[in-house]
Amino acid sequence: MPNWVENLLVIDNVPEERLEEIKKGIAGLEYHRDEHTRKLFQIRRAIDFQKIIRAPRDYELDGEDPQDWRTDNWGTKWNSLLNVVVSSNTLFFLTAWNPPLQIIMQLSLLFPDARFSLSYSSESNTAGIFMVKDIEINHDHSDDLDDKFGAMRDELRAMKHQFEKKMRESF
C-alpha cells in the first residue's frame, strides 16, 4: 500500500478560454475491464499523465519496469487517482508516494503562458508548494510538517473526505 500524496493544482495567469483549452488538453478517459464481472467501465481524469507525458507500452521498454519508467518520467508510479474539479482553475488528485513534479514541469513547457501551482502533502509528513511558469521554478518543500504546511494538509484531507463521502452516497 503506497503512501498517498494529496495534490492541489491551480492553473492561472491565462484568460478563461485558454484555461478551458488547457483543461481539455490534460483531461483523459480510460477504459478498464473489471476482473470479476468482465464489465467495461470508464475512468475520467481531470489530469491524465498519459496525455502530458505518454508512457511507452510495456514491449517498448526493453525490460525496464513500467513503474520505474513512470517514477523516473512522471515523478510517481501511477496515473492520477480520485480526480476532483474543485473550481474552474483548481484540480485535486492523489498520487502514489510522490508529487508529479515532472508532469508539472512538462505542463509548463506545453503551456508556457500559464502558471501551474501544485500544493502537496503526503501521509509520510512531507509537503510543499511547487510553482512553475515558462520553466521558472519556485519550490518550497518540508520533510516535517510545520504550521504552514499543516494547514494545507488539513484542507486537502478535508477535500478528500468530502469527495469520498460523495462517492459513497452516489452508490
User: Does the pLDDT value for residue 14 go beyond 90?
Assistant: yes
- Give pLDDT, residue 156: 57
| Beta carbons within 8 Å of 156's beta carbon, 6+ residues apart | 6, 7, 8, 92, 119, 121
* pLDDT at residue 148, rounded to an integer: 47
- Other beta carbons within 10 Å of 117: 19
* Residue with the larger pLDDT of the pair 159 and 139: 139
pLDDT confidence of residue 30: 81
What would the grid cell of residue 104 be?
Answer: 508539472
The per-residue pLDDT for range 20-70, each reduced to its tens digit, is 999 999 999 888 788 888 888 888 899 999 999 999 987 788 888 899 999
Would the pLDDT of 12 be above 90?
Answer: yes
Length of the chain: 171
Give the model confidence (pLDDT) of 82-135 as tens digits.
898 999 999 999 999 999 999 999 999 999 999 999 999 988 778 888 898 876
- pLDDT score at 31: 82
- At 47 the pLDDT is 96
Is the pLDDT at 137 greater than 50? The verdict is yes
State the SS3 of the chain.
CCCEEEEEEEEECCCHHHHHHHHHHHCEEEEEECCCCCCEEEEEECCCHHHHCCCCCHHHCCCCCHHHHHHHHHCCCCCCEEEEEEECCEEEEEEECCCCHHHHHHHHHHCCCCEEEEEEEECCCCEEEEEEECCEEEEEEECCCCHHHHHHHHHHHHHHHHHHHHHHHHC
